[in-house]
Amino acid sequence: MDPIITVTEWANEAAGERPPTLLDIRYQLGGPNGRPEYEAGHLPGAVYVDLDAELAAPPGPKGRHPLPDVEQFGAAMRRAGVRADRPVVVYDGGTGWAAARAWWLLRWAGHPSVRVLDGGLAAWRAEDRPLESGVPEVAEGDFVPAPGALPLLDADGAAALARRGLLLDARAAERYRGEVEPIDPVAGHIPGAVSAPTTENVTEQGLLRPAAELAERFARLGAKDGVEVGVYCGSGVSAAHELLALAVVGIDAALYAGSWSEWVADPARPVATGAQPG
């Protein structure tokens, strides 16, 4: 299944007899909770999901956005109405990063049908589509997570993959090079990783680039037949968006969930700087 759904496609499916469950994952790094904005206006029928509280565990040695407790994640998804036999569509304010985190978690936890609304709320608004306010009542879902459906890396696994395959760094290029680090205490990248900013996977309008363009880009970066691919970022959020782009072109890549924020929590782990993998 294509992991992306367009605004037009969603409008058509939403008008059907049994539309997919719709989740609003609006999130801003370091910003306020997205619930007030959600309650002021959201896609009809959407249920708000809090990335920090429901799609991640508290920050710590495992990074700024560790994977959530599986039982708590499952409970949050059931509260949002997620069912095992019903497709799910997720969206955010427009960058796609937070929505991709929800997409990856649900797919990793075994849900068979999850798609990201291309362009998110911004694309919906650009077409003057209707919004609704308030909080809709939804029936309790029945989804029970069964983790392991998608590949996952820990710190040692990421280091090993950088040596034997292709480890992509989804952060901005200047953070990869170690020229600036606005969030984490150490600048640079995992030795052997290749810079691949996830922002380059989208158009100026915030939509994913066509599959052919994405395939060409990832091939240039070294994602070819027989090459194992992994992705990391600062805390496992924007990397999920890179994984989404890879999935569009049929590349099954692994997520290093702890990402850079976990990597630098251990001063014994090596750090590379500069434009080369190192």
Q: What is the pLDDT of residues 151-196, one digit of tens each?
A: 999 999 999 999 999 999 999 999 999 999 999 999 999 999 999 9
Confidence class for position 25, pLDDT limits 50, 70, 90: very high
Sequence letter at residue 159: A
pLDDT at 30 over 80: no
pLDDT at 278 over 90: no
State how beta strands 229-232 and 194-195 pair. unpaired
Asked if 254 is an active-site residue, the reply is no
Tell me the average pLDDT of the chain: 96
pLDDT the model gives residue 123: 97
pLDDT tens profile 129-139 = 999 999 999 99
Give the separation between CA 203 and CA 91, rounded to whole angstroms. 17
pLDDT the model gives residue 29: 81
Sign of CA dihedral 41, 89, 30, 204: negative
Domain 152-263, CATH among 3.40.50.2300, 3.40.250.10, 3.20.20.70, 3.90.190.20? 3.40.250.10
Q: Are 181 and 220 in contact (CB under 8 A)?
A: no
Confidence class for position 32, pLDDT limits 50, 70, 90: confident
The pTM of the full predicted model, rounded to 2 decimals, is 0.97
Give the separation between CA 45 and CA 269, rounded to whole angstroms. 46
What's the average model confidence in pLDDT over 230-259? 98
pLDDT at 1 over 90: no
pLDDT > 70 in the chain, percent: 100
Give the separation between CA 34 and CA 115, rounded to whole angstroms. 21
Domain coordinates of the chain in residue numbers? 4-126, 152-263
What's the average model confidence in pLDDT over 240-245? 98
pLDDT at 31 over 90: no
pLDDT the model gives residue 209: 97
Q: Are 204 and 60 in contact (CB under 8 A)?
A: no
Q: Which helix (H) or strand (E) holds 39?
A: helix 35-40
The single residue of 233, 237, 253, 265 carrying the catalytic annotation is: 233
Q: Does the fold of domain 152-263 match that of domain 4-126? A: yes
What's the average model confidence in pLDDT over 211-230? 96
pLDDT the model gives residue 28: 86
Domain 4-126 sits in which CATH superfamily?
Rhodanese-like domain (3.40.250.10)
